[in-house]
Structure 1
Amino acid sequence: MTDFNQVPETKARTGEVAEAFGEFMRAFESFREENDGRLAEIEKRMSADVVTDEKVDRISKALDEHEKRVERLVLKEMRPRLGGTGETAAGAPSEHRQAFESYVRGGDERGFRRMEEKALSSLTGSDGGFVVPPETEREIGKRLAALSPIRAIAAVRTVSTQVLKKPFSIAGAQAGWVGEADARPQTATPQLAELAFPTMELYAMPAATNALLDDAAVDIDQWIGEEVEQAFAAQEGAAFVNGDGVNKPKGFMTAATVAESAWAWGKVGTVSTGAAGAFTATNGSDALIDLIYALKAGYRQNASFVMNRRAQSVIRKMKDADGNYLWQPPATAGGKATLMGFPVVETEAMPDIAAGSKSVAFGDFGRFYLIVDRQGVRVLRDPYSAKPYVLFYTTKRVGGGIMDYDAAKFLNFAV
């Protein structure tokens, strides 16, 4: 049933998004105008005025803030109500959802126990707690995909075991051309590597008052999802980039690297900028072109740039030989900025530009990095540890790692 009281609020949010996006575009126009002046000063006097540099940097930071505001509003607008997603065809809440709500609100476990007896399977984790309804788990997954930059572009697999083992062909099967009556010599055996992706436990512990739990108007599914999504997204987003594989996923930035000319399986190829901790003073954009074309054509079709906002602010000032900016703002609210025609994904976990840093990654992350989710998000209700509050120890198991070392390249800020 439609909640008509939500219609004015939805229209207001849409208007707010449009207004914020308009402010973002005006900030970009201001940035472009001031940066054009800065570049003209460099061309004329071989250096820019300090005041001009500071003004451009200030506008660039404001541009970042406007962009973040648009992203927050778009995420807020896309957040759906969960009230109807767990209903049966007859319109009543599913048995799992009813049991979950009774457990969260009052600690009543009887509904879960009855379900276990009927299904002859356990909904209880080894450390206690109960599995959330499928609709709640799906919603948490959707929100994580929207909030976690790497999850949004990487491959994601859901498994029911602790470890996903994936065979991968390094060299591929051998083949050749023969005539109709020619002998068929035996081909070489394909080289296979077995990649293992163990899942690690990720947890959040939102707290609620008894008054909130007693309020029938509060959607418990939605509340749980909103409380844990930010904590989960922040932790896994950092791990997918820099995780060391110890009680967390293996991040792609921890992989061994080698110059692209000497690339071999098990390492990520790099392209140098030609200057330590910077782009070269002349033709700095050539390094970005080299990075793009270091990637094979099959990977380039779905490739994205990945960097943090400080690296993006440096690249945002660069132009091509025709005077066009390499970085372009998103065409619509909720869209992605582009760099030389490829989407830009911003994550703060990427390193800042420094001597020898690999601050920009470019590749097809759907083939480069695999995220493994173990099925089942569990919630353990704890009304004792933080009286008068009720804690909800919420856990999910996540793993990750590189599955194709040739599908992405790093930009190395070095000679």
Structure 2
Amino acid sequence: MTRQPLQNPAPIGGFSPPQINSLEDTGLSPLWLQDLVLKVLYFRGYLTGFKIAEEITLPFAGVTDQLLTTLKQEKFIEVRSSQGGLGEGAYTYGITGAGIIRAREAMERSQYAGPAPVPFAVYNEAIRRQKSGRLSVTTRTMRQILSQMVISESTFQRLGPALNSGSSIFMYGPPGNGKTSIARAFGNLVLSQSMYIPYALYLDGQVIKVYDAVSHSVAPDNESANGTPATGNLRSNTRRDPRWIKIRRPFIVVGGELTLEGLDLVFDDTTKFYEAPFQVKANGGILLIDDFGRQQVRPRDLLNRWIVPLENRVDYLRLHTGRKVEVPFDVLIVFSTNLPPKDLVDEAFLRRLRHKVEIGDPSFEEYREIFKRVAQDKRVEYNDQGLAYLLQEWYIKRNRKLRASHPRDLLDQILDISSYLAIPATMSREMIDHAGKAYFVDI
């Protein structure tokens, strides 16, 4: 099998999918591709040549047409109808009895019938090339992406270098102070950039699905790496390998559902192909492990799984055959937890995490600023006297901690109460007491 060359570098981290002009350019066995066509016809029924090329994401001229010609000659498919003058791509093809037998034999090995995969080695090289496409943030950029949040200056100045590291961030602190919101703001910045990923990978006869419509957001094909319209030679090459799709750099969130098994190749015994794990789908972007410590697996076991990837920037995945393969680990891992670090990790592991950032409770002044912003956004009449009453009666007297999420939740309570009583939403003492009784619970 000939390895597909990487060529035609473009500004997206120095990588652009190369042209596909022949079967040899795919890096895949013609016999394997023939089986793929037969499985597509087996599942989809009658299709035109152009539709078959679209289903397997390969050019018709010089590639799919060659596969169809061979399959016709060997009596595995037949032309069911043709439209004169429109060429072979407009012919409608159907699978024969011999083709059905071969398709079923192929499905015993794998039922995958979708976009043709990209050789695993080509994917690894593409991810390494696109690593340089990341943008570095400055203080100005950070103030823009966090403009909707009220954060202490000391915390703010620690977040920028952490994001630029592209390595790992451990954010900890009490619940409700914006850890997840900060991570999502990072994600919005990442989503402004684009990169290429393949629909699927080919390794030792096995298929690994990478593109996930839930996890990945498609980017316009005429957009440059930094999210601006491409000009001149930045415009997409219409002949580029269609097995690759341009996406926004990923921002993937996992929570309590994360398990050790979910960090390795997931093999489906029924369909007989793999689903890429979270960190592979997140390559080139951010993986947020939210509510860390609440997973079904022990935190220590989960963290031990990250030691090699975090230190060496490579990960190792295992096929069900037992073979291990190396894959680039170009992911910014963000651990976000409400639990005390001492209850989760030891000092040795914390040293391996590049940046540790505590997101603490807001000060009284920060709480006031948050309350003013949220009141304006929710169109609740703000006044300092009402806030002073709230702080004195519901926080200071009760020895209650301030939380950055409280203003939003309390003002929602006021809106609910005012709507029910058909009176204006204000920060009167009565409204504040109603909201406090409905919202706070002494534990």
For the criterion TM > 0.5, the same-fold answer is no
Tell me the TM-score normalised to structure 1 length. 0.25
Greater RCO, 1 or 2 (C-alpha within 8 Å, sep 6+): 1
Q: Which has the larger radius of gyration?
A: 2
